[in-house]
Amino acid sequence: EDSSKKRTSTSTEESSSKKKKTSDKKGDSAILKKLVKVLKDDSINQELSFPTQSLEDSYTHLYKEIVKAETQNDSACQRVLFCYFQFGKKIYERLDYYKNKKKYHDCMAQSKVDKEIKEQLPKG
């Protein structure tokens, strides 16, 4: 009798865990349906141009697009750094001009440079 009771309780546990899995799958199914709907939306696909090639070629195309975008990003970052460096260099040269050629004290030279920068930069 004991073994039959254990089997009954085990089968009940199994059936309840199956119910849980089924309910999770229903929730997953709704999420997947939403995802498929979003991916089928033409407005998203219009932003990206996918060539009508074989699957293997489209991976190659996408990889090349990624590499191209990363290269452009690297170039932009290098350009920004170069511009900041040149900006700092120009400030240093102007400070040097006021200190050594005009013989201003440090605070006065800095004030002059700050005023020049403020006058030349856009307001905002």
The CA R_g of the chain, rounded to the nearest whole Å, is 34
Write out the residue range of the structural domain in which residue 104 sits.
55-124
Query: Mean of the per-residue pLDDT values for the chain?
Result: 79
pLDDT digits (tens, 9 = 90+) for 3-59: 545 554 555 544 444 444 444 556 667 777 777 777 777 665 565 665 566 766 799
Number of domain units in the chain: 2
Say whether both 43 and 8 belong to one domain: yes
Say whether both 69 and 124 belong to one domain: yes
- Which pLDDT value is given to residue 31? 76
Say whether both 97 and 37 belong to one domain: no
- Which pLDDT value is given to residue 26? 62
Residue 24's closest CA among 13, 32, 35? Answer: 32
Mean pLDDT of 60-68: 94
- Which pLDDT value is given to residue 33? 77
Q: How many contiguous H segments (helices) and E segments (strands) does the chain have?
A: 4, 0
Range from 13-17, 79-83, 101-105 carrying the lowest mean pLDDT = 13-17
For the chain, percent helix, then strand, then coil, each to nearest 5?
85, 0, 15
